[in-house]
Amino acid sequence: MIAAKDNPPNFTPEEYFVWESQQLEKHELINGQVYAMTGGSKNHSLLAARLITLFTTHLEGSGCETATSDLRVNIAQTSNYTYPDVSVTCDERDKTTTQYITYPCLIVEVLSKSTEAYDRGGKFRMYQNNPVLKDYLLVSSTSIEIDLYHKNDAGQWMIINYGAGDTIELKSINLSFPIEQVYRGLTLTPEA
């Protein structure tokens, strides 16, 4: 969730890590500029937590790791760092880093009105640089709707739209689940 651009000078990744460790909020680093992260709604938090729990339980003992929005993702072959809502890595190379991962196979963004265009556009274009990423899940926080961007075996990205009654299939982690499993009990109202 990118909110507003701060106006510090361009940062190297090393300068960014030092600077951000002294900040109260999280910031993404994109092309040397930092962007403050906004807080999310109650539904945003609940949806992310449910997906993290679902993935962690499913992947127990597999060697894969599920991370919250507190873990940065380095955009492969760049100096850009983002904070997705949920990420999963099964790549051994990510076990050697402590402040970020670079090779997630699955990334989840819970959508809000202020971030949806960026999550679907610019952020997804950056994530496509990752050679290991297979599934990019965009989760509505206002209606029972999930869009899955899946990279097939030919390397092409396909979009699959899920709604009420559908079963989500995440080939990246070999998991299928009914969409209602993550939306149960939520009060869904369109954003103003």
Specify the pLDDT at position 154: 94
Give 7's pLDDT tier (boundaries 50, 70, 90).
low
| Direct distance between the N- and C-terminal alpha carbons of the chain, in angstroms, rounded to an integer | 18
- The CA distance from 82 to 74, in Å, is 7
Three-class secondary structure of residue 85 per DSSP: coil
Cβ–Cβ under 8 Å, residues 190 and 173: no
Residue 34 is assigned to a structural domain of this protein: no
Q: Domain holding 158: CATH number?
A: 3.90.1570.10
Which stretches of the chain are DSSP H helices?
13-20, 42-59, 116-120, 122-127, 180-183
Specify the pLDDT at position 8: 60
Query: Could you tell me which residue, 26 or 176, shows the higher pLDDT?
Result: 176
> How many domains, the chain?
1
- The CA distance from 139 to 118, in Å, is 14
Residue 44 is assigned to a structural domain of this protein: yes
Q: Say if residue 120's pLDDT is above 60.
A: yes
Residue 33 is assigned to a structural domain of this protein: no
Task: Print the domain residue range for 161.
Answer: 40-183
Residue 123 is assigned to a structural domain of this protein: yes
Listing DSSP states for 22-70 in one string gives T-SS-EEEETTEEEEEPP--HHHHHHHHHHHHHHHHHHTTSS-EEE-TT
Q: Say if residue 173's pLDDT is above 50.
A: yes
Its pTM surpasses 0.75: yes
Q: Say if residue 5's pLDDT is above 70.
A: no
